[in-house]
Amino acid sequence: MLDEDLAALYKIETEALNLAVARNRECFPEDCMFQLHPDEFAGLRSQFALSDREAPYVFTGQGLALLSSVLLDEQENKANQESCAPTCSCRR
Give the pLDDT confidence of 8-25 residue by residue, as tens digits.
999 999 999 999 999 999
Neighbours of 20 (CB within 10 A): 19
Q: Where do the H-state alpha helices sit in 11-60? A: 14-23, 38-48
SS3 of the chain: helix, strand, coil, percent, to 5? 65, 10, 25
Output the CA angle 72-73-75, nearest 5 degrees. Answer: 65
Is the Cβ–Cβ distance between 20 and 71 less than 8 Å? yes
What are 24-59's pLDDT values in tens digits?
A: 999 889 899 999 988 888 877 766 655 667 888 999
* pTM of the predicted protein model: 0.71
